[in-house]
Amino acid sequence: IISSDGPAMYDGFVDSSSNRYYFVHSYNLGASYAQARDVRALEGHETALPLYQDILSRNPNDCTAASLIAGNEHTPKLQDKACGCSSIDDVRRIRSLQKVLLESDFTRKGVAELFGVESEKSFVAGPIYVKPVVAGTSCPEPLSTSDSPLKCLVKMFLLGFCERRAVLNSVFGDIQIVDLLLELGLAFPCTSRSIGSKELIVPYVQIFPMDAPVQVEQRNGYIRHDQDPEHLFFATDFHPSVLSSTTVGTNNDGAVMYIGPDSLALVQHMPQLSPAAGRPTRVLDLCCGSGIQAITALAVLSSIDSVAEATCVDINGRALRFTEFNSILNGLSERVTLQIGDLSQVMIDGNNHLLRKLKERSNTFDILLSNPPFLPVPAFDESNEVVVSIARRYGFFSDGGSNGELILQSILKSCSSLMNDHSIIGIVSEFMNPGVALCDKIEQWWNQQTSLLVTAKGILFTNEYPISGKEYAARRAANDAEAAEW
């Protein structure tokens, strides 16, 4: 068979579970990777596993976490172990990890200097410009035992490349870094693949370093002080472009959202905060994901309210586990409380279980922050292949209902019963079909709790030039059929 870029030969195998015949492109690796990614995204890990294993046998120099995660039959069980923090020993290990990250200068400034990015020109909060690599990306020059710990951490936990056990042990010396990563479920050994006959260590979470400006008190109030920020770290699942999936583990849990520009935008626009009078400041983080908003708020407040408290809510138990891990990693676990709950049900029952739980925990909150799912994902219909394709690629952290507004509307409907006279709410979202009525729509959502009307003032920051529906669909879709559905 002659392909567009030269001769190619095809082989294949039958998947007994689906009775489908899969072609394996023997020479054109680019086409093989593309096919494997599509199968993994639409049909799951088990179906795509033999495709990736075949690719790895033909491309032994592939040392991307994306390929080795997809090509390991034990990956779902290993993903279940990620960011475990159930024992006293786990807590001790997580605190040891924080020390390693700090001593390695795995910070916003340290990463910027490594990439030659001028500090004042780099993204204010964190290295959003560093993108994890997709399966099959050529590996950079192998690290040597003389390289820095910072370079090893960036290569593995920001870029998503594997590294040899011997190199890691040599670079980190007496720290026993490999044992620490394995015990915390942040990486796993890949004994069947190697570079130079040395065992590879595969990262299967991302760790994002971030700076939080600390507020300080001055005569005329509180100001942000950026010169000596709090260095924070957030473990998340890798981006879907790496995993080719939005579900992980043996139970197909929703992946924990990566740190993206929307997360950092809300961090950077966090308003000037003042401590509550006579009690700890109370923070509520809805759709918390990795816990980035709540943990950052506590860090910002640390110098003026060292007993501030945060409640983190998510529908995804895996997200709450990662939030707990991150709260320990940043030394704030004693002030973070976790609550599982489904915000979409607020639209059905205004006095639902979640709202009752939040009111029991704290009658009102001073700061409410949220980066909710906001994509207009069509309702799942297993008979519609196009809808199935979209749903598989946009998981818990993306799905805002068929119009993208379901969770946003639920949050605003809930706010008036959870806030006090001086509360501040900060939300980052996309708005579908905004037009001139957007503010009216937000006001209408706010006033849906008619028995608890609370007057509020708001500021809405939006793009100066919204994009058309056609352009938006093209950005989100994988093909013409999906674009039509969007």
Q: Is the pLDDT of residue 474 over 50?
A: yes
Strand partners, 427: 370
Q: Is the pLDDT of residue 136 over 80?
A: yes
Helix (H) or strand (E) holding 68: helix 65-70
Instruction: Return the amino acid letter for 350.
Output: G
CB-based contact 1:13 (threshold 8 Å): no
Percent of the chain with pLDDT over 70: 85
Strand partners, 339: 313
CB-based contact 3:31 (threshold 8 Å): yes
The 10s digit of each residue's pLDDT in 410-461 is 888 877 778 888 888 899 988 877 666 778 888 888 877 655 556 777 777 7
The pLDDT of residue 139 is 81
The pLDDT of residue 269 is 80
Of residues 140 and 137, more confidently modeled: 137
**Which of the four pLDDT bands, split at 50, 70 and 90, describes residue 236?**
very high
The pLDDT of residue 194 is 43
Dist. CA 269–CA 281, nearest whole Å = 19
Per DSSP, the residues of 72-125 read: -TTHHHHHHTTT---SHHHHHHHHHHHHHHHHTT-SHHHHHHHTT--GGGS-SS
Helix (H) or strand (E) holding 233: strand 221-236
CA 247 to chain centre: 12
Q: Is the pLDDT of residue 217 over 80?
A: no
CB-based contact 199:165 (threshold 8 Å): yes
Quick check: helix, strand or coil at residue 457?
Answer: coil
Dist. CA 382–CA 390, nearest whole Å = 11
The model's pTM: 0.89
The 10s digit of each residue's pLDDT in 255-264 is 999 999 888 8
Percent of the chain with pLDDT over 90: 40
Dist. CA 69–CA 45, nearest whole Å = 9
The pLDDT of residue 207 is 98
The CA distances from residue 31 to 23, 27, 133, 180, 216, in Å, are 11, 9, 17, 37, 55
- Beta-carbon contacts of 255 under 8 Å, excluding residues fewer than 6 positions away, are 237, 238, 240, 243, 245, 246, 247, 248, 318, 395, 396, 397
The pLDDT of residue 8 is 40
**Which of the four pLDDT bands, split at 50, 70 and 90, describes residue 225?**
low
Q: DSSP state, 176?
A: -
The pLDDT of residue 456 is 76
**Which of the four pLDDT bands, split at 50, 70 and 90, describes residue 25?**
very low
The pLDDT of residue 315 is 92
The 10s digit of each residue's pLDDT in 114-128 is 998 876 554 568 898
The 10s digit of each residue's pLDDT in 345-397 is 765 555 577 888 887 877 789 999 999 998 888 877 888 888 887 877 787 78
The pLDDT of residue 384 is 86
CB-based contact 369:284 (threshold 8 Å): yes
The pLDDT of residue 26 is 45
By the 10 Å C-beta count (0-12 exposed, 13-18 middle, 19+ buried), 244 is classed as buried
Q: Is the pLDDT of residue 76 over 50?
A: yes
The pLDDT of residue 279 is 83
- Which of 224-233's residues contact partners 24+ apart within 8 Å by CB, and which partners? 224/272, 224/300, 230/299, 230/300, 230/302, 231/102, 231/107, 231/108, 232/295, 232/296, 232/299, 232/330, 233/98, 233/101, 233/106, 233/207, 233/208, 233/209, 233/326, 233/329, 233/330
Q: Is the pLDDT of residue 318 over 60?
A: yes
Q: What does the pLDDT average to over 333-346?
A: 88
**Which of the four pLDDT bands, split at 50, 70 and 90, describes residue 24?**
very low
Q: Is the pLDDT of residue 70 over 70?
A: yes
Of residues 184 and 20, more confidently modeled: 184
CB-based contact 51:36 (threshold 8 Å): yes
The pLDDT of residue 5 is 41
By the 10 Å C-beta count (0-12 exposed, 13-18 middle, 19+ buried), 264 is classed as buried
Mean pLDDT of the chain: 83
**Which of the four pLDDT bands, split at 50, 70 and 90, describes residue 22?**
very low
The pLDDT of residue 154 is 96
